[in-house]
Structure 1
């Protein structure tokens, strides 16, 4: 990072006087277990992972991982393969976010295999596809998820419940020979073929990523890092290994279960010093804060995975101290970080978005035009990364790999990766990110290829044609649909239900517009620029608008209108069918608390998603609270009389 102002921010605010030990470049040529073992040797009794259910020191986590590793070897020793083939094997994982999956990840890496993380919230059909495509022969899980695991019924798939591992199994290190170019994991992302594609990374990539984030942020053993995402999200790789490969403490927080309302108290209670979040989550989290919320221990907020706006910097300045800095990161599943931009309380953002930033070690950015020629400063081109530390390719998809990953003819041992992103390089070396050149979009930090969603719509057998775009706020998707049977009433509720059987919730469009036909360009392609503007969410044609009957229902309609931006809402409308999602649920819960002084659990909104259902629960809760207050007052009076 050669910009003087960026260097000044780092020097004054990234705590150069803490116990930071520079991540040695030589360690990039180790394996992940070898670097982890260094931390075990230096900090055996330091807390490695902490949740409400588990607390593991580095020594205890290492021993647990060793037992898992030996159990894996025992489970797979019957395979008649060579030693190399037995080691180079994908191992699937089905856990909720927490300490057990961290131990399982380490256990898999210790035996030279590579992990395939599965999110328990994904549709069963998507999990089954990933298991089949990855060719995993073993699935690790725990007692909490064993029933779900057994329902998957994949031919030849063995299941290992880590809660049932015999404690008599040795917890000593295995010390198997591992290489930095051994595969470490496959993480699946949205694919243009209509199915997710697997991004392969090796140990060298994980270590190099950790080195860059460690050295730019001075991550050390005194730090406490929040883990806000499932390990099947690429950003979790950074959180997990930047913590465990530096002797720091990793603290998972399940946002999907706990919500954002309690995150502020948790950050303060656990004395979190660093947290990473996608920009959308950061925005929604800050909206839950009051002027009284202070974070004296928080020194670093890392934001990325999607466009970071000037407004995000303003929110940071409003709610966080002078000792806390804000870092915008450009990166993805294939490589991270590509660029970083450091912000403090004095930084002025001149445009509407925060720049992608300046160079990081070993990752050179080139900009090319459609003919593959380099463009000059201040000109727009596709972002191409030149590095030795790029992803290994897409699992079982050499065609997709060859389309974006090339050998560098100018520099030996380096590769070129065409990101598909557009950028502009300023004369001082600062990169501006200008979006995608294809039809991939980012929604709540997840990269989505809209063609996969369009294919899922057509596969419902209700839709003949579909075009999907991102909403202006990038919180959801909008779908233009042409029904298979013209003039036939289409139930959007049924359509969403069918989509949720094959797509994660963040890939299901939040709003729909029915058209007689999609607009076409002269050459017969869908004219996405010619799609009509969304003026209002469409109501399912089989349902009529039912007006509120009670004051509580009217208040809820007013709240939903504010959050969803929709005027016509009936008491039987479903929050999620009107465009609501998990992040907006947090806003809803906050509004309910401010209006009714009632704490509504996150799960309640998912269980009672209509105005009528939620109003009934609120009225019953308020009635119980009034009765309790009356009883308490009666008891006080009786005690006074005595």
Structure 2
């Protein structure tokens, strides 16, 4: 595409068709495990359009998109626009009530969603009078079964809507910004012109689809012959995920929210890394840029990189102005630049008169990229989009609400907000929307939401008038999490009997308590740090979160932590302790207690000790011997842990779970074996037939065979150890197997997070398997199950399914004194689980979080300090009773 001053502002499908004709075989999308050419992406888009048309979608209809970043999400956007319909991003992370409002407000007839959101979101948004729309799974059948021969596409006018993007609204509800095709074309042309992107660029699609940086990341590159690199859904093992991702895919262009860019720079400085060599374009947008971070960026650069500070509200289609510092830039503040091509910017006074250079006023934007208005809100549209005369010519302008002034060189200096609107990270927040929800809380009489900042980091503060009522921050925050996106839930709370008021009856903000008097949402059980690692992490978290006191069981994210602040933690662990902690592992261990134990158990993390200390540490480690034993004709792999000074006359068999839970639990049972062995017990871990390193046919692994394997493992351990008293510790499905063995098999059994129902277990693993095939975190395109029946880590057959599905633990039956149950937090929240637990004699509940049924953690590491302590103490107490 050539960039001239006269590009036609036509519908995006027309622009897409032109580029498709020029570069059908070039790579358009790069995903984790493959690529799509322009022709392949278009074929997918046409097939999706055909499926939507068959469901009744016509020009002008709104189609919801409840999808993750993925190639099919990009294809769906193009396909929806080909029909002349309007795509509306529905963030899966939003509360269902908020999504339901958006669905109703936009009169969405059809939601295109990834299948793994059907159960949690789809069932609450479709069907019935409240939400009379249809859910269509965004999976292979969408384009495999579509009748693409019969689909025809309408003519689309430049004034037709392309998409609606919902943002925070001052009325207490989100408001939909309507973007027309002409506005989208205007922005794409301006983007290509300003940033000089071309067919050799690989642009990272990093943002969630409900934030308009995604528009910038996807559409301009696809009009140049370039490629869009889709960020994988799963978290990486590396501490610097972004740099790893850039290097892996050869990314050349990145668009980042300012706060995330700041953290990335800090992480590179902390880890001694350089800016990835493939990067040629870096665009930062969303908040005020720290000049100090820009200086650090320059020092990390080994090649010329076009660095840009972009500014623009959603109402002006992504970005409106851009500042590109030259080599002589030395100002204390970073300007927001000059208008992009076809955009206009004016600084006006209260009478809408143009101010001279250097005079401060309100910033207004103009040009064909302005939004049509707010969906179903003519009052808000008339207030924000005005018509006024500028230099003798009537213009339609958008009132940004931002204070600004023109500098002598033509750049715009940003001065903050006129109103109380807050820009937090990449998000624009109307405090009134949060206040409206806060006021729904019981006992809250009145509220005010503001923000405070420390070291350039902002956090929301809610001031609450509650009278004599006793209300906790945790109660309010828990209520808000059900109603608002996570980024809109305040991190600090100040409680007052009543608000100070001005003579006019308004809240007197100047007389409100300082932010330092705020409290954070936490439960009532504060536990002080005990170990050196816990004390270090508490001090680190207090510093990063700017809190005076943190307990070891406080959740980092519930205290106001974010993924951006996680990178600070990771960077400081590297620089201060020389510890490498992947971001993924931090998410799986969000408390000081779990994070400390995870770090303490990480191989090679014996710190602050001399060689003698290390030798003492090694002296306490068990002797480990790998071996095989025979069971039902198969050779089973086993690992025997022998204490150097055996003080117990008890040996313990550890029983793994199966499938993906075998992989998740492997390291934990390995660590548990060492802990038990240090306590003086002989321990055996083994793999069932056809799992791990054992021989056998996975498809033939039934309940009976697993029981036989376990019985033979007990005999093998008794023979090798010479101990007659044998106990078992089973994890998940292994616990269920151990519980259903004949009572005389083991002296005692510890059931750790047992599976109560085999059918439910299979349903969960089948769901994970389906998500792995369709979510594009592993594969470059959605895949079918194929001819072999599998369930996330194990081959299945009808016989095997029937066998595993039939096992269950009777909720009304008490197992007896020889059984001890150890449970992690949120182990099983079903009513039948509560009944079963209440009927057991010995139950130990811990704060460890394994999150077995949560797809966010299904492949993440987890830490089990309290579970280990409970299990070890159980056997220690049993020894003392003998």
Q: For the superposition of Structure 1 and Structure 2, which TM-score range results when normalised by the shorter chain?
A: 0.7 to 0.9
Match of 2:366 in 1: 386
Answering whether residue 45 of structure 2 is matched by residue 65 of structure 1, we say yes
Distance of 2:64 and 2:5 partners within structure 1? 30
Q: Paired residue for 2:412, among 428, 431, 452?
A: 431
Distance 2:145 2:393 in 1: 50
Is the 1:468–1:477 contact (alpha carbons within 8 Å) kept by the matching residues of 2?
no
- Do residues 282 (structure 1) and 264 (structure 2) align? no
Aligned: 1:555 with 2:536: yes
Deviation at 1:359, TM superposition (A): 2.9
In structure 2, how many angstroms separate the alpha carbons of the residues matched to 1:441 and 1:264? 30
Asked if 1 retains the 8 angstrom alpha-carbon contact of 2:492 and 2:520, the reply is no
Q: Is the 8 A contact 1:33 1:110 kept in 2?
A: yes
Q: Which moved more, 1:617-626 or 1:524-533?
A: 617-626
In structure 2, C-alpha distance between the alignment counterparts of 1:274 and 1:524, rounded to whole Å: 51
DSSP-derived class of the 1:145 partner:
helix
Distance 2:566 2:122 in 1: 31
Q: Give the Cα separation in 2 of the matches to 1:551 and 1:438.
A: 46
CA offsets, 1:49-71, max 9 Å, x none? 11114521111000000000011
Q: What does the per-residue CA deviation read over 1:120-144, in whole Å, with 9 as the maximum and x for residues that have no partner? A: 1111111111111111010001223
Cα 1:256–1:198 change in 2 (3 A) is farther
Label 1:44 to 1:166 Cα distance change in 2 as closer, same or farther (>3 A): closer
Contact conserved, 1:99 with 1:252, CA < 8 A, in 2?
Answer: yes
The equivalent position to 1:119 in structure 2, one of 69, 91, 94, is 91
Q: Counterpart in 2 of 1:400?
A: 380
Report if aligned partners of 1:64, 1:171 keep a CA contact under 8 Å in 2: no
Q: Secondary structure at the match of 2:279?
A: coil
Q: Structure 1 residues 598, 315: CA separation in 2 closer, same or farther (over 3 Å shift)?
A: closer
| 1:162 pairs with 2:138 | yes
Which residue of the partner structure matches residue 293 of structure 1? 274
Distance 1:42 1:371, change over 3 A: same
Specify whether residues 422 and 230 from structure 1 end up closer, same or farther in structure 2 by C-alpha distance, changes over 3 A only.
same
Shift of 1:257: 4.3
User: 1:477, 1:508 within 8 Å by CA — same for their partners in 2?
Assistant: no
Change over 3 Å in CA distance of 1:483–1:621 after alignment to 2: farther
Q: 1:484 to 1:349 in 2, by over 3 A?
A: same
* Per-residue deviation, 1:587: 2.3
Aligned partner of 1:108 in structure 2 is: 80
Q: Report if the CA contact (8 A) 1:519-1:527 is conserved.
A: yes
Of 419, 435, 438, the residue aligned with 1:454 is 435
Deviations 1:329-375 (A, max 9, x none): 1111011432211024x232322x20111232222222122232222
Q: Indicate whether 1:518 and 2:499 are aligned.
A: yes
- Normalised by the length of structure 1, the TM-score is 0.87
* Contact 2:241 2:583 (C-alpha < 8 Å) held by counterparts: no
Give the deviation of 1:447 after TM superposition: 0.4
* Cα shift at 1:452: 0.9
Distance in 1 between the 2:600 and 2:192 partners?
51
Aligned counterpart, 1:129? 101
What secondary structure, in the 3-state scheme, does the structure 1 residue paired with 2:399 have? strand
Q: Is the 8 Å Cα contact of residues 229 and 254 (structure 1) preserved in structure 2?
A: no
Q: Could you tell me which residue of structure 2 aligns to residue 509 of structure 1?
A: 490
Q: How far does the alpha carbon of each residue in 1:4-37 deviate from its partner, in whole angstroms, 9 at most, with x for none?
A: xxxxxxxxxxxxxxxxx53345544221111111
TM-score normalised over the length of structure 2? 0.65
Q: Check whether the contact 2:274–2:302 (CA below 8 A) recurs between aligned residues.
A: no
In structure 2, relative to structure 1, the CA distance for the partners of 1:397 and 1:167 (3 Å cut) is: same
From 560, 563, 567, the equivalent of 2:548 is: 567
SS in 2 for 1:585: helix
Match of 1:203 in 2: 181
- Are 2:309 and 1:310 aligned? no
Indicate the SS of the match to 1:76: coil
Structure 1 residues 97 and 529, CA gap change in structure 2 (3 angstroms): farther
What is the DSSP-based 3-state SS (H/G/I as helix, E as strand, rest coil) of the residue aligned with 1:288? helix
Matches within 5 A, 1:281-360: 281-289=260-268, 290-335=271-316, 336-344=318-326, 346-351=327-332, 353-360=333-340
Match of 1:5 in 2: none
Cα 1:393–1:616 change in 2 (3 A) is same
Q: Contact between 1:510 and 1:576, CA under 8 Å: does it hold in 2?
A: no
Distance 1:545 1:149, change over 3 A: closer
Asked if 2 retains the 8 angstrom alpha-carbon contact of 1:28 and 1:211, the reply is: no
1-side partners of 2:192 and 2:63: how far apart? 28
- Decide whether the 8 Å contact of 1:291 with 1:319 is kept in 2: no
**1:180–1:203 CA contact under 8 A, matched in 2:** yes
Comparing 300-309 and 356-365, the one that deviates more = 356-365
Deviation readout 1:204-250 (Å, 9 max, x if unpaired):
11111011110111111100101111111011111111111221111
Q: Distance in 2 between matches of 1:632 and 1:319?
A: 47
Deviations along 1:59-110, whole A, 9 cap, x unmatched?
A: 1000000000011110016xxxxxxxx3111100010112121111011001
SS state of the match for residue 215, structure 1? helix
Alignment pair present for 1:486 and 2:465: no
Q: Could you say what secondary structure the match of 2:132 adopts? A: coil
Q: 2:26 maps to which residue?
A: 46
Q: Compute the displacement of 1:485 (Å).
A: 4.5
Distance across 2 between alignment mates of 1:444 and 1:388: 27
Query: 8 Å contact 1:388–1:413 — kept in the other structure?
Result: no
How far the C-alpha of 1:470 sits from its partner, in A, is 2.2
- Whether the aligned pair in 1 keeps the contact of 2:467 and 2:496 (CA below 8 Å) is no
**Residue 261 of structure 1 corresponds to which residue in structure 2?**
240
Shift of the alpha carbon at 1:632?
Answer: 11
Give the drift of 1:298: 0.9
1:487 and 1:157 map into 2 onto residues whose CA distance is 42
1:534 to 504, 515, 518: 515
| Cα distance, 1:145 vs structure 2 | 2.5
Distance 1:46 1:529, change over 3 A: farther
Q: Aligned equivalents of 1:603 and 1:265: distance in 2? A: 14
- State how many pairs are aligned: 604
The answer to which structure, 1 or 2, has the higher relative contact order (CA under 8 A, 6+ apart) is 1
Q: 1-side partners of 2:108 and 2:469: how far apart? A: 46
Cα distance in 2 between the residues matched to 1:150 and 1:487 = 38
Tell me how far apart the structure 1 counterparts of residues 244 and 597 of structure 2 sit (CA, whole Å): 29
Is 2:120 the partner of 1:148? yes
SS state of the match for residue 586, structure 1?
A: helix
State the distance in 2 between where 1:624 and 1:374 align: 63
Superposed CA RMSD in Å reads: 2.8
The alpha-carbon deviation at position 562 of structure 1 amounts to 2.7
- C-alpha spacing 1:419/1:119, structure 2 compared with 1 (3 Å): same
Query: Displacement, 1:592?
Result: 4.4
CA gap 1:539/1:46 in 2 versus in 1, 3 angstroms: closer
Contact 1:264 1:293 in 2 (8 A): no
Contact in 2 for aligned 1:90/1:116 (Cα 8 Å): yes
CA distance in 2, matches of 1:408, 1:35: 32
540, 548, 567: which one aligns with 1:586: 567
> Secondary structure in 1 aligned to 2:108?
coil
Distance 1:47 1:633, change over 3 A: farther
Partners in 2 of 1:631 and 1:181 — Cα distance? 74
Specify the SS of the correspondent of 1:389.
coil
Structure whose CA Rg is larger? 2
The answer to whether the 8 A contact 1:329-1:340 is kept is yes
SS of the aligned residue for 2:363 comes to strand
